Structures are given as structure tokens and as C-alpha cells.
Amino acid sequence: MVRGSEEFDAAFATMAKEGDNAVVVQGSLSRKGALEQALKHQLPPFGSSSFFAREGGLMSYSADETDLYSRAVSYIDRILKGAKPADLPVEQPTKFELVLNLKTAKALGLTFPPQLLAIATEVIE
């Protein structure tokens, strides 16, 4: 487990040395630093935000952020109109997005199966 970007170099070097095949980068960490180290050590980086793949990660799978923000606006509207937050239902995401980055795949010598490309929400070329 890595708690901050100052631990990236040692952590990624250890993962590569131990033969790890990929890395999942948590959203609370510096994406840029994690991406640089993952690519330096030839570890395919996965993330839980579409921004991650758009910034150079290999792929991401997450709730559709635009849909989440739209839902939040609906909640704010209801609260401003007098609804009690405690009375509002808890909702779970219903829309998800799979973003694949072909540039990063090529840099790592990887290819995506056609079936995965066909179901992707976005493919970055």
C-alpha cells in the first residue's frame, strides 16, 4: 500500500521486481506520479475514474460522473425546496463507463480484445 507520491518510486520498483502484472491506482493518489512510475516499470495502470484513462492510464471502469452530478443536482433541488436530507433515498449509480487508452496500450506492448473495444464507452487513440 502506498500512502503518498513520495513512496511511488520504491513501491513501483518492488512491484516490478516481484513480477506484478498490473497496478490499480486509487483516486486519492497523484495520478500523474503514479502513471509515470507505472509506465516506467511497464506495469499496466488501471483506475477508478474516467479522468485516469484520459490522462494516460491503460483503462478505467467507473460510475458515469456526469450522471452522478446530475443526480446530485436533483437532490440539491429537493433540499432547497424543503425536503429533509435524511428522508431522501440513498441511490446507487446505474450508469457506468469503460474508457480504454490505445496509446498507453501501445506503449506497453498490449492490445485490447475486439470484444472489449466493442463495449467501451470511450476509446482514446
Distance between CA atoms of residues 2 and 62, nearest Å: 21
Distance between CA atoms of residues 11 and 60, nearest Å: 21
Which runs of E-coded beta strand occur in the chain?
A: 23-25, 45-47, 59-63, 96-101, 122-124
What is the chain's pLDDT, residue by residue, as a tens digit (125 residues)?
777 777 888 888 999 999 998 988 877 666 788 888 889 999 999 988 888 899 999 999 999 989 999 989 999 999 999 999 999 999 899 999 999 999 999 999 999 999 999 999 999 99
- When computed from its CA atoms, the radius of gyration of the chain, rounded to whole angstroms, is 18
CATH numbers and ranges of domains, the chain: 5-64+96-124 (3.40.50.2300)
Q: What is the pLDDT of residue 17?
A: 92
Q: What angle do CA 113, 49, 115 make, to 5 degrees?
A: 15
The pairing of beta strand 96-101 with beta strand 122-124: parallel
Query: What strands lie across the sheet with 45-47, from one edge to the other?
Result: 23-25, 45-47, 59-63, 96-101, 122-124
Q: What is the pLDDT of residue 76?
A: 94
Q: What is the pLDDT of residue 62?
A: 92
Q: What is the pLDDT of residue 98?
A: 97
Distance between CA atoms of residues 93 and 60, nearest Å: 16
Sign of CA dihedral 45, 50, 54, 55: negative
